[in-house]
Amino acid sequence: MSKQLSPARQVVAKLGGVRATARILQLSPSAISRWMMPTNRRGTGGHVPQRHWAAIITHAKTERIKLGLRDLTLL
């Protein structure tokens, strides 16, 4: 697994997988899968789109999942 793709993979794993993340955000599983694909394959290159950050953090807090802003970025 490429370091570049790891933030999205880690976030999705913490949320319970692709299907669980899709349900949480009311997106298709294929949309979530694109987060973990390189940009040359029409993915986000490992980025979690910023427009979803608030919903992800809110869900993580509600469910007591250890996930913060730092987990969503490519630091």
Mean pLDDT of the residues in the chain = 91
pLDDT score at 75: 60
Answer yes or no: are the C-beta atoms of 43 and 12 closer than 8 Å.
Answer: no
* Cα distance between residue 61 and residue 72, in whole Å: 14
26-51 pLDDT, tens per residue?
A: 999 999 999 999 999 999 999 999 99
pLDDT score at 57: 97
2 Cβ contact partners less than 8 Å away, ≥ 6 residues apart = 38, 46
Q: What is the pTM of this model?
A: 0.88
* Cα distance between residue 75 and residue 71, in whole Å: 9
Mean pLDDT, rounded, for 7-25: 97
Of the CATH numbers 1.10.287.130, 1.10.260.40, 1.25.40.850, 1.10.579.10, which one belongs to the domain with range 3-72?
1.10.260.40
Q: Domain map of the chain by residue range? A: 3-72
